[in-house]
Amino acid sequence: MQFLSYSEESHLPSLSKIDENWPFQFLSEYCRFLEVWFGDKILIVYEPSLAAYLPLRIYKRLVFRFGQILHAPVANGEELQQKDQLVFFNLMLMNMRRVNICDRLVQPHPFGILGALPHNTSYCEFGTYITELSRLNNNEIFESINDKYKKAIKHAINNKGVVRTGWENFDTFYPILESTLNKAGIGVECKEYFLRLHDFLGDKYSTLAVVYDQDRLIGGAVFLHSRYAAYCTHAANINETKLYGAMKLLHYEMMLHFKAQNVKRYDLVGVRLHNDNPSLEGIFRFKKGFGGKLKTGYLWKTDIRPAKLKVYDWIQQVRRRRNKIKDIIDQVNR
């Protein structure tokens, strides 16, 4: 197994197979953004026996090193099947214990659902709704959406709802995003984060879509994408509007937009499975309504060097007065 980096010129020939047909998390532009913005190290883990790659973020806290899987392993631009993912993960963990890469693997980002579960991991089941754009024509995309949503989309169109794309709308959209996520108790990245992200990815791999009620911007979404898939990573809207169905119109229009760009999939990014939180259940139902297929898998984490991490966990407990900040895995397994 090899741990490669776009920053190492000698590694570039081994990374040359990765192109716009792979998930955006593998692209050099995105990896460089993470390295510049966060000061992290991004590795592409390569397993020759499977001809498969996996993007891995490495970051430091004090003297401790943490890893975060950014996407499930991929070979030839397609995600490995479950049994091969398990082989990949077991080999990766074995090598991580042998080589001093990191001390702990933390929970993947919700857009990095994993298809296999190694032993000795803390985990939760997780899912996402995906519409296979490449397998549907425009009419089939609309017909796959549930009837209630189709009526809402038609209502928004008939009442002059308009969807536009372009980062020139970001300054107007950001306060809506910030307000929405703060009300939900979710932290939001600063404005400069998104602008720098767009600087690195450009319009080729990042899109801002907004929806207007005539001349008033009332919602929007940020998409990161390649030809492999378009991921809706951030979305928000205001409630003070009579334009019923505005966000449903936005998602429908963006499915058509990305299909026209030969993007294979539309990924609504992350739903909790088997939860009893009414607000999260509402998100589940909202995403389900767009007719995509539910992809299920896992978010998991594990300690590579458990003894060393006991010191870190003790420090964190003292600093937070034992009020531990919980990730999704901890929240589900409370």
Q: What is the pLDDT along the chain (334 residues), one digit of tens a residue?
A: 999 999 999 999 999 999 999 999 999 999 999 999 999 999 999 999 999 999 999 999 888 899 999 999 999 999 999 999 999 999 999 999 998 899 999 999 888 899 999 999 999 899 999 999 999 999 999 999 999 999 999 999 999 999 999 999 999 999 999 998 888 777 889 999 999 999 999 999 999 999 999 889 999 999 999 999 999 999 999 877 788 899 999 999 999 999 999 999 999 987 777 666 665 666 778 888 899 999 999 999 999 998 888 888 888 777 765 555 577 877 777 6
Q: How big is the chain by its Cα radius of gyration, in Å?
A: 20
* Three-state SS at 14: helix
Cα–Cα distance measured from residue 165 to residue 160, given in angstroms and rounded to the nearest whole number: 16
Structure tokens at 155: 């209502």
Please say whether the beta carbons of 176 and 219 come within 8 A.
yes
Q: Which residues pair with 61 in a beta bridge?
A: 64
The answer to whether 263 touches 133, Cβ cutoff 8 Å, is yes
For residues 238 and 183, what is the distance between their CA atoms, to the nearest angstrom?
11
56-77: b (≥16 Cβ within 10 Å) or e = bbbbeeeebbbbbbbbbbbbeb
Q: Which CATH number fits domain 129-294: 3.40.50.720, 3.90.1150.10, 3.40.630.30, 3.20.190.10?
A: 3.40.630.30
pLDDT at 146: 94
Provide the 10 A C-beta neighbour count for residue 43: 23
Q: Are 226 and 23 in contact (CB under 8 A)?
A: yes
Predicted pLDDT at 56? 97
**Domain segments of the chain: what residues?**
2-125+297-332, 129-294
Could you give the dihedral angle defined by the CA atoms of residues 320, 321, 322 and 324, in that order, rounded to the nearest 10 degrees? Answer: -20
Helix (H, G, I), strand (E, B) or coil at 59: strand
Helix orientation angle between 191-205 and 170-183, rounded to the nearest 10 degrees: 120
The confidence score (pLDDT) of residue 277 equals: 63
Name the pTM for this structure: 0.90
Angular region, 237: left φ>0, alpha ψ -120 to 50, beta rest: beta
Alpha helices in 99-245 (DSSP H): 138-144, 147-158, 170-183, 191-205
Helix (H) / strand (E) element for 42: namely strand 41-47
Per-residue confidence (pLDDT) for residue 334, from 0 to 100: 63
Provide the pLDDT for residue 184: 73
Given this model, what pLDDT does residue 311 score?
84
Instruction: Tell me what pLDDT residue 182 has.
Output: 84
Contact 258, 141 (CB under 8 A): no
Helices 246-260 + 147-158 axis angle, to 10: 90
**What is the spatial distance between Cα 112 and Cα 114, in angstroms, rounded to a whole number?**
6
